[in-house]
Amino acid sequence: MSRLAEGGPPRVSVIVPFCDSERHLAACIESLLDQEEVGGPYEIILVDNRSTDGSAAIAARFGGLTVLEESTPGAYAARNTGIAAARAPVLAFTDADCVVAGDWLHSILAGMQDPAIAVLVGSCQYPAGASLALRVLGAWENAKTEYVIDRCAAAHRFAYANNMGVRASVFEELGRFRQWRRAADSELVHRLAARRPDLRLAYRRSMRVIHMEFRRARDRARRLSLYTRTNSQIESFRELGPAQRVGVLAQLIRARRGTGRPAGR
């Protein structure tokens, strides 16, 4: 197991905002502590965004973590507080209702070996008790992400901070997340495309998280509809057209057959 940073510089900083997250926070932290070797130490930064339940007490149970507070409401404000405190050249983001795979940090650092890649997003899965419809929807979501990032123009691209890796230099050059309620992760990749077209957003299948919040497709579909509406506040963002949605279906079929593109590994 990799070790947490104790004074020395970390290879990667993990940033997790939380607000009234006592249901899943312990499982999230445990998964972050149980990571495969990444060739050096890493740090975990938790940011309490005005919790009123037992979340802060749960965070305090774990040693070796950095726990900060951010009074401005909103997950992006909390993430920005974590970014300001982070010491590593690569920042990894997930949410308090997510459990990350044991090789999550290893996959992020492996993906960042390509100096042209500035931002990574990974595959999102759902817990064992999730409905069949939700698992199918999840497969469609991942296929759409891979298709958009690998095959579509920059105007269609999006990101999600529950499973995201970003070079610290991106925030140093472009600034931190907009303090929006939603879609600031997607706005960041549009800002990157406009100002640094030489740098890339990439999708990495092996960057896996389980989103513990959802069990039914209906609930997830409502959230996806909300994302569609909030992405529209990004001036350069464009939704997929009918032909591109057919392309997503083809991508899903390729992925199910195990013939997807190697870049997504």
- Name the CATH superfamily for 12-264: Spore Coat Polysaccharide Biosynthesis Protein SpsA; Chain A (3.90.550.10)
137 to each of 51, 126, 161, 258, how far by Cα in Å? 31, 10, 19, 18
263 — pLDDT class (breaks 50, 70, 90)? very low
Q: Domain ranges for the chain, please list them.
A: 12-264
CA distances from 243 to 16, 149, 239, 246, 255 (A): 37, 16, 12, 5, 19
Mean pLDDT of 78-83: 98
Compute the Cα dihedral for 220, 227, 111, 44 and give only its sign: negative
Backbone phi and psi for residue 127, each to the nearest 5 degrees, phi listed first: -65, 165
Cα(120)–Cα(4) distance, rounded to whole angstroms?
Answer: 22
Which pLDDT band, with edges at 50, 70 and 90, does 34 fall under?
A: very high
pLDDT band at 259 (very low <50, low <70, confident <90, very high): low
Checking if the pLDDT of 262 tops 50, the result is: no
Question: 202 and 117 in contact (C-beta within 8 Å)?
Answer: yes
pLDDT digits (tens, 9 = 90+) for 165-203: 999 999 999 999 999 999 999 999 999 999 999 999 999
